[in-house]
Chain A
Amino acid sequence: MQSSLQIKDLQLFRQSEQLLNLNELVNGGDVLTIMGPSGSGKSSLLNWLTGTLPSVFSASGEVWLNGQNIGDLPANSRHIGVLYQDALLFSHLSVAGNILFAMPKGNKKQRLEKVDQALEQVGLKDMGDRHPDSLSGGQQARVALLRMLLSEPKAILLDEPFSKLDTQLRVDTRKLVFDLIREHKLPAIMVTHDHSDAEAAQGKIITLHSQEHLQSDSQELLTREVHVR
């Protein structure tokens, strides 16, 4: 069965002000890109998907993951992996420790072997015992990616994950992330305000408008520009 992430009739409010409405299906291996200025509700969308929407927001709608409605599950039971713009590695654990933390329970030796393999795959061979703070920004981003992937998520959210990397690093890391998403056939949603990120994702792009713009602009609740490549 192909994996999929479906958002059904989402309406997201900040107090009484509507931020967005959305109806989307993302299939495994595809990346849906959400663009828009800050304040347009991008981060709230991700928070809603992970089940950590702050209480000043409210939402209606359903989210289905692989045919299961996960809207009422707590954050820790949703199996949605998130990559943030900061690597957010745990500084009390080594590089390998960070990845082991994320992996499911199991045979200790096999888990360690898997970590070594994964590190080698992203060009971080033998760096497992290093302290995360001793790594460069790009290396940290790759460890965060491995940590997320090896937790065996069923869907992936990308919260401006490349915005703190410089240009060349950004291109390389982006390619690695998208390649791995395709390889694992996982549905992914990315929010960004960088056009090159959006293009590189090679998927559907939804552009949200800021609220001020909306209110002064028209009665239309939400203006969207949709490109499908």
Chain B
Amino acid sequence: MTSNIKTDVFTRMVKLSPRFLLALLLLPIFAGLISVLLPAFGWAPELEQTSIGLHGFYALWQTPGLSQMVTLSVSTGLISTLLAFIITLMILAAFFNSPWLNRIQRLLSPILVIPHAAAAIAVGFLIAPSGMISRLLSPWLTGWELAPNGLFPHDPYGISIILGLTLKELPFLLLMALGVLAQPELGKKLRQQHKVALNLGYCPMTAFFKVILPSLYPLLRLPILAVLAYASASVEMPLILGPNTPPTLAVAIMHWFSDVDLNLRIKASAGALLQLTLTGGLLALWLGGEKAVKVLFSGLMTNGQRRYGSAFWQTITLVLTTLVIAFILLSLIGLVMWSVAGFWRFPAVMPDQFVLSHFQNALMQMSEPLFNTLAIGIITTVFATIITLLCLESEQLTAKPMSRFTSLVIYIPLLVPSIAFLFGLVWMQQLVHNQTSFFNVVFTHLLFVLPYVFLSLSSSYRRLDPRFAHVAASLGASPAKVFLQIKLPQLFSPILIAIALGLAISFGQYLPTLLAGGGRISTITTEAVTLANGASRRTSAVYAIMQMVLPLIGFILAWLLPKYFFKSAHR
């Protein structure tokens, strides 16, 4: 009897989980958007403003430099996404079916776990007037004996932001594409079709663009849109690498919201709506561009031309790939050197002496942020993993794939700029008089962790051979037992990877931590961003390294543990 009741509870819980997931993702975002929408049109009872009107937008319109902010946001977002996308395609095309593709993948995949803030700090060190590039070129090429007054970072054109975003998003897009090509059936089919095109006389790069890309692109669309949405509205990168006068729109909105003058919140809300429109416009522009490219190039697909200056493009790709990898490596090396540098005069490539005191000092002050980072990350990720597993199990128990609507909703936190709904959400949380800022931070992190955990787990869960569950069920095992004792052990490794990814995402959150915590909850990431524009480059380097090390430990554990536990479940 008891087992029957238990089964019931489990099955009911599992079947309810997709609805719970929907509510968990949709309610906060809609609540957030509405509480931005209302103040934007002047309705903010807390500020004793209840006249519906457009004065928020007038105030926004009057802001000096607004058009520069908009231009900066749009151009950095679009250009960095385009660059990352195009270089990804060129690398794929030039190295398709070559062992180099795997090597590049192995070299770039650790970049995925680096939070944006840490990446921005590293890139800033690379291009600063006294950064690695300038040191390597001085004085023999530049003639600089002293660090010059450079343009970078913080250049008014946003070139630093573009560089930072491109270097960070390129590995993401490349790994997403390689993930698609690693799908057993599709990957095999595409490789064979590539071979057919080679047999028909197509040079490898042309074959990629004419045969592989049309099948690959639809599966890359969502990650690309997520990158575009992020790049157009992110806060960390422009905060660390961007100009101040004026900053990007997202950064400006953040300043207005956190201003002591609460009346600026009306303007900030209007700004958030503008940001939403900009990002939406960019996404629409991208989708339109997609259609245009398709129409423009449809004739070229079948015109029979087999090569387009392939040696030239091959060389360009090689140069670009080398540059990208060199930039990434140099920024990381620079970061590590700053963290242990004693005295380091300008054109010297290496510091005069290496010291550990920056680490010792920083680590002593780090205990609270470190505890917060870990606690928030672990609670959020465990929760996200459990919900994800239940949702995926419900798919199998009901033998129905998840509705298109639900699958789309999972992506919403990745497509809606967080700056546009987070303030609303935080306002809402304050309205409920929720003083527990720790809980608010966890809840907000969940919005961003859930999608990644879900995306990471779903493919392996769906690929699980259903016959194991059938066999177990026929031996009398309840659904709960099958789930806990058959499926979970078999999925041990993918679950750990998903957890490591969830932790990495949570560790890297800046804006959600800052806002939901009301500035009272400090994590390694919030500290790193604060320090990035502050006095000590060395302390900042230590924090950026901590930001990289934490997620890396997670991934190393996820890679090591399956070698010792549930080994039999592995092939």
Contact = CB atoms under 8 A, between A and B. Distances in A.
Interface of A: 50, 52, 55, 74-82, 84, 86, 88, 90-93, 96-97, 100-106, 108, 111, 147-148, 151
B303 A97 contact: no
A5 B34 CA distance: 73
Contact of A76 (B192, B202, B215, B301): B202
A96 B302 CA distance: 9
A99 to B, nearest CB: 8
Residue from B192, B193, B199, B305 whose CB has the most chain A CB atoms within 10 Å: B199
B201 A151 contact: yes
B199 A75 contact: yes
B195 A52 contact: yes
- Going nearest first, the 9 A-B pairs with the smallest beta carbon separation are A92-B214, A100-B302, A105-B304, A75-B198, A151-B200, A82-B199, A97-B302, A76-B198, A102-B200
Contacts of A74: 198
B200 A101 contact: yes
Contact of B302 (A55, A75, A80, A93): A93
B168 interface: no
A88 B198 contact: no
Nearest to B218: A92
Contacts of B197: 101
Interface in B516-571: none
B192 A90 contact: no
Nearest to B306: A76
Majority SS at the chain B contact face: helix
16 contacts: A50-B199, A75-B195, A75-B199, A76-B204, A81-B200, A82-B195, A84-B192, A86-B192, A93-B302, A100-B303, A101-B200, A102-B200, A105-B304, A105-B305, A148-B200, A151-B200
Contact of B301 (A50, A82, A93, A103): A93
A37 to B, nearest CB: 22
B211 interface: yes
Contact of A88 (B193, B204, B210): B193
B305 A101 contact: no
B198 A84 contact: no
Nearest to A77: B201
Interface string B179-207: 00000000001001101111111111001
Contacts of B193: 88, 90
Given A81-B199, A151-B201, A103 B192 contact: no
Contacts of B211: 90
A91 B215 contact: yes
Contacts of B304: 100-106, 111
B99 interface: yes
B569 to A, nearest CB: 29
Residue from B195, B211, B302 whose CB has the most chain A CB atoms within 10 Å: B302
Contacts of B198: 50, 52, 74-76
A145 to B, nearest CB: 13
Contacts of A111: 304
A97 B200 CA distance: 14
Contact of A82 (B189, B196, B207, B215): B196
Residue from A55, A96, A100, A102 whose CB has the most chain B CB atoms within 10 Å: A102
A50 B194 CA distance: 13
A88 B201 contact: no
A88 B196 contact: yes
Interface string B131-166: 000000000000000000000000000000000000
B503 to A, nearest CB: 38
Contact of A101 (B203, B204, B302): B302
Contacts of B305: 105
B202 to A, nearest CB: 6
B17 to A, nearest CB: 35
Residue from B189, B207, B303 whose CB has the most chain A CB atoms within 10 Å: B303
Residue from B196, B202, B306 whose CB has the most chain A CB atoms within 10 Å: B196
Contacts of A77: 201
Contacts of B201: 76-77, 79, 151
Contacts of B192: 84, 86, 88
A75 B199 CA distance: 6
B89 to A, nearest CB: 16
